[in-house]
Amino acid sequence: MRVAGAGTALLNPETAKAMQAAPAMFASLRGYRAAWLSGDLIAGIMLAAIALPEQLATAKLAGFPPEAGLYAFAAGTIAFAALGTNRFASIGADSTTAPIFAASLGVLAAAGGAAYQGLAGILAIVVGTILLVVGVVRAGWVADLLSVPVTTGFLAGISVHIVVGQLPSLLGIANARGPLLAQIGAIALGLNRANPLTCVIGIAVLGIAVLAARVSERIPGALVGLIGAGVAVAAFNLRARGVTVIGALNVALPTLRFPALHDAGQLPAIVPLALVVAAVCVLQTAVVVRSFPSDTDAAGTDFAAIGVGSILAGLSGAFPVNSSPPRTAAAAAAGARSQLTGPIAVGVLAAIVAFFAGFAAYVPQAALAGVLMSIAVRIFRLHDMRKIARSSRWEIYLVLAGALLVIVLPIQTGMLLAIMLSLGHGVSLVMWPASTQLFQVRGSTIWWPDTGEHEVVDIPGIVVFAPSAPVNFTNAEYIRRRLLAVVARARAPVTLLVIEASGMTDIDYTGSQMLQGAIGTFAGRGIQVALARLIGPRAQAAATRSGLIAALGEHHVFLSVQEAVAALTHVQP
């Protein structure tokens, strides 16, 4: 310890402080206790049981051989165990991001071919690099720019893509290509060639997986369905009756190498796609870390850890990885205490593949389609949509718009536009804030909007106006127009205007100039202007520096609306 301390002392104070603050390797094992091991073992086995069918199915969704999903899971899990800080997060192949990049890369190269897999590997490296940068500069706040309604909408759109994309496998007909609507048309034309046995298998696996998830996250319904389907195929020789199977798994260990690029001219198309996939990873990881916090969490580090996992996945012949809310929930519910759960799950999966890889020769493609459809059901958040509709009649249209953008347009374009829609929604709330007029609640000193919940009094000559946002260059003119309109609508000549400023958390130069101009305009009409409840420290400092307080006069700044009314008029509570 003395040597370490002496070494640190040789560094400048800033570097030493940064080294002490940096999370250590295997941070989730900090303070590990022997009593935790049983919980991690059970959770690891449970995680493996849940991850096995999901990772095989997601690899299919991504246009890869089934075993590539296991490579992605191993790369993401081991990297996060070593470098991540959250104790519970599960990383691996993700059904949210897979359809995004599969649809876009499928335009550049034939899905499943060497050129396609090379592009996906390069994409994984670029996505990982972006996530590393996000983690290093601690830019995870970008997840806050995506509203829940828009996020719910584009997840619903992705779920529709998953369902439509898996219908051919479930029906036992040829895969449909092209835009989503074209795929739906091709599937409709091929319904007369559907294999009833394939349909029964896919629907049965879907039903088992959905029912198990509703009962408990700890029940590996998808695995039970896959095993049952494989046993049925083997017992009744269903392959001879047209049921297609995934085939035996390739159990060879992956070798780390840079993916082959067959056409350098395709690289420019990778960057915008990588930005979209990385944005979804940041959003989903933020949800996971916030939903399952742990005492070892460090801001930004988990994004970087997933970035390293994505790079390793790309080098091992797989595709980008992401955190998984359902698997994380299952691991936490099973008693996970640290990231040791992940490597245990990887070891269990390796053992299963080593001894039972041949069993995959009996697992039907329809069963994987059923697993993927169960995931689609999970990310189609109908419960959240109902809550949004009940709380805001306007924001449910954001859900619908986000879904339609992803469904109707090419999925990458739809995702970008959905993100822009979310940002536009946030900007609109600042540009056109819901500023309101306040009235005195009868028999009290409280001033409140006239919502019908309380009996209010409209006192002649007094107008109280409450801007519900920081006043800045984006909304200053809008707030000025609202202020003039409220005064103009007053039923008696206005003698006092009180600006209730509790919502004005900040005031920029443009906003201050607007308010000072309004004060001058009203003063010319014989209207006094007062400021009440300017409680934000930044707003207070800005109001003083910009001359707003001086323009009002210090005797026109009050702690409450009622204090302003009592001081400047003869009205008492």
Q: Please give, one letter per residue, the 3-state secondary structure of 531-571.
A: EECCCCHHHHHHHHHCCHHHHHCHHHEECCHHHHHHHHCCC
Residue tagged 């169960």 (tokens): 374
Cα–Cα dist 234/363, whole Å: 9
Contacts 24+ apart (CB under 8 A), 394-401: 395/147, 395/149, 396/149, 398/147, 398/149, 398/150, 398/153, 398/422, 398/425, 399/149, 399/150, 399/152, 399/153, 399/156, 400/153, 401/150, 401/153
Max Cα separation, the chain?
95
pLDDT at 20: 40
pLDDT at 435: 86
Burial readout 109-119 (b: 16 or more C-beta within 10 A, e: otherwise):
bebeeebbbbb
- What are the domain boundaries of the chain? 2-427, 436-568
pLDDT at 147: 83
Question: 247: which 2 tokens?
Answer: 């085939």
Question: 350: which 2 tokens?
Answer: 């390796």
pLDDT at 260: 87
Question: 392: which 2 tokens?
Answer: 């805001």
pLDDT at 15: 42
DSSP annotation string for 6-21: HHHHTS-HHHHHHHHH
Segments in 247-300 forming alpha helices (H): 267-291
Q: Are 207 and 377 in contact (CB under 8 A)?
A: no
Please give the CATH topology (third level) of the domain spanning 436-568: Transcription Regulator spoIIAA (3.30.750)
Cα–Cα dist 406/416, whole Å: 9
Sign of CA dihedral 316, 37, 23, 278: positive
pLDDT at 1: 33
Cα–Cα dist 377/365, whole Å: 19
Cα–Cα dist 335/344, whole Å: 13
pLDDT by position in tens, the chain (length 573): 333 343 333 344 444 444 344 456 888 888 889 899 999 999 999 999 999 999 999 999 999 999 999 999 999 999 999 999 999 999 999 999 999 999 889 888 988 899 999 999 999 999 999 999 999 888 777 777 778 898 899 889 999 999 999 999 999 998 887 888 889 999 999 999 999 999 999 999 999 999 998 888 778 999 999 999 999 999 999 999 999 999 888 878 888 999 988 888 888 889 999 999 999 999 899 888 888 888 877 768 999 999 999 999 999 999 999 999 889 988 888 889 999 999 999 999 999 988 888 898 999 999 999 999 999 998 899 999 999 999 887 889 999 999 999 898 887 788 788 888 888 888 888 889 888 999 999 989 999 998 888 899 989 999 999 998 899 999 999 999 999 999 999 988 999 999 999 999 899 999 999 999 999 999 999 999 999 999 989 999 999 999 999 999 889 999 999 999 999 986 555
Determine the straight-line distance between the first and last CA of the chain, rounded to whole angstroms: 69
pLDDT at 128: 97
At 219, is the secondary structure helix, strand, or coil? coil
The kind and range of the H/E element at 473 are none
Q: Are 304 and 135 in contact (CB under 8 A)?
A: yes
Cα–Cα dist 17/369, whole Å: 51
Question: 101: which 2 tokens?
Answer: 């990049």
Q: Are 270 and 380 in contact (CB under 8 A)?
A: no
pLDDT at 10: 38
Q: Cα angle vertex 555, ends 554, 561, to 5°?
A: 110
Question: 193: which 2 tokens?
Answer: 């060639």
Cα–Cα dist 422/283, whole Å: 13
CA 61: distance to chain centroid?
Answer: 20
